Amino acid sequence: MHLSIANQVLLSVFVLAAVLGAVAYRTNFCTMGAVSDWVNMNDRGRLGAWLFAIAIAIVGVLVLEGWKGIGLNSTLPPYRTPNFAVLRYIVGGALFGIGMTLGSGCAYRTMVRAGAGNLKSVVVLITIGIFAYLMTQTSFYEKVFYGWVSATTISLSNHGISSQALGPLISGILHVGDGTVLEYWIGGILALALLVMILRWADFRTRFDNILAGAVVGLAVIAAWYVTAGPMGHAWKDAVMFMDTPPKDVMSQSFTFVNPTGETLAFLMSPRNPALITFGVVSLVGVIFGSLVYSVVTRNFRFEWFRSFGDFVRHVVGGALMGIGGVLGMGCTIGQGVTGFSTLSLGSILAFLSIVFGSALTMKVEYYKLVYEGEASYFDALISALADLHLLPQRVRKFAPA
């Protein structure tokens, strides 16, 4: 049976997402776990896997653009937009980082666990979807966030800069060189620096699962860029113009996992509308399916529920913050931390750093609250946590270093 070009694209995305789900379950790839291992145990294995994925994705995009001539200046979300919403990236990333810590994993990891039978993750995933839907399909974002986001957005185009990608940005600020050529140099040097750094970490290079996870995530991001921005993607976009009910969000894009939860909720509310079957919906279903199949085949599928009502509240709050923060920051640990980072967007890099900061700070605060139970207020725990992260002088801390 001949598949339409739209179905070919969506089937390709589903297969890639299923591989992502299976591999993440197999290797225990988890960005929240990566931050936790690093902050609490000085183990950089899973952090190395995340950075390895970023390095591979950067190189992949350089190859796609330089060798294949595939342009990624117009994408969904608009990673390279000249509208640099500095506080949006910082606040959204930090909220997401806090949320993924409270919710026991980022949106991607939540989908993987949901597929393997974790009912806690199903609740978190639904919560992420509800708040992502509110942020994108209602006036919630406009009423709560639009005013201060727009007020703190820098229009780079007013300064003759066409993109916030590092090459054109630096070229425009310094008035030197060709932004495109500079982009290749910056991307190549950054990817090489990341590889040299993580290959020096024995806790990364001596564990095959970390190498496998980082390679698969990075390659999947590249593959999705190629599918949606390459020849198949162009045919997909051309075909949409002749459809009676064209699908939404037909643009160059790769994996991100917060907005798709809201899109999936919208589809479930109107399941007879084929236009709501998007890249995001298919990628979410694919990750869950891949995790489900792998966990069943390996006989690791098992149900898990909340330990207490407090545990339930914690995870729901985490899901809400991920839904809000992921849309506000225009991506998650994969959407901004790998996919956006691969475009060398300054906003994506800022969101990535903010996610790590929000997660690490939350872990530090929770540590002091646990160790000094009954003695540590949230304010005192926060001050000590900021001192641990070298953002405040050591003399102001209330408790001994973690």
Is the predicted pLDDT of residue 271 greater than 70, yes or no?
A: yes
Give domain status of residue 176, yes or no. yes
The token duo for 37 is 């291992």
Give domain status of residue 329, yes or no. yes
Query: Is the distance from CB of 67 to CB of 331 less than 8 angstroms?
Result: no
Is the predicted pLDDT of residue 354 greater than 80, yes or no?
A: yes
Query: Is the distance from CB of 272 to CB of 266 less than 8 angstroms?
Result: no
Q: Say how far apart CA 390 and CA 91 lie, in whole Å.
A: 20
Is the predicted pLDDT of residue 1 greater than 50, yes or no?
A: no
pLDDT, position 106: 97
Give domain status of residue 61, yes or no. yes
220-10-286 Cα angle (round to 5): 60
pLDDT tens digits for range 206-242: 999 999 999 999 999 999 999 999 999 999 999 887 7
Number of domains in the chain: 1
47-99-364 Cα angle (round to 5): 65
pLDDT mean over 110-116: 98
pLDDT tens digits for range 280-331: 999 999 999 999 999 999 999 999 999 999 999 999 999 999 999 999 999 9
Residue type at position 200: R
pLDDT, position 68: 83
- DSSP assignment string, 39-63: HHH---HHHHHHHHHHHHHHHHHHH
pLDDT mean over 27-43: 96
Give domain status of residue 397, yes or no. no
Say what the pTM is. 0.96
pLDDT band (50, 70, 90) for residue 113 = very high
Give domain status of residue 204, yes or no. yes
Give domain status of residue 390, yes or no. no
Q: Say how far apart CA 211 and CA 43 lie, in whole Å.
A: 15
pLDDT band (50, 70, 90) for residue 2 = low
Q: Say how far apart CA 224 and CA 212 lie, in whole Å.
A: 18
Report the candidate in 154, 304, 217, 244 with the shortest Cα–Cα distance to residue 26: 217
Locus of tokens 């001596």: 206
pLDDT tens digits for range 362-380: 999 999 999 998 788 889 9
Question: Which range marks the domain in which residue 258 is found?
Answer: 5-371
Long-range contacts at 153-157 (CB < 8 A, ≥ 24 apart): 153/83, 153/84, 153/85, 153/86, 153/88, 154/83, 154/84, 154/85, 154/86, 155/82, 155/83, 155/84, 156/82, 156/83, 156/84, 157/82, 157/83
* Helix, strand, coil percentages, rounded to 5, for the chain: 70, 5, 25
Would you tell me how many other CB atoms lie within 10 Å of the CB of residue 301? 17
Give domain status of residue 108, yes or no. yes
In the three-class reduction of DSSP (H, G, I as helix; E, B as strand; rest coil), residue 83 is classed as strand
pLDDT mean over 190-198: 98
Average pLDDT of the chain is: 95
Give domain status of residue 401, yes or no. no
pLDDT, position 248: 82
pLDDT, position 177: 78
| The dihedral sign for the CA sequence 213, 201, 353, 172 | negative
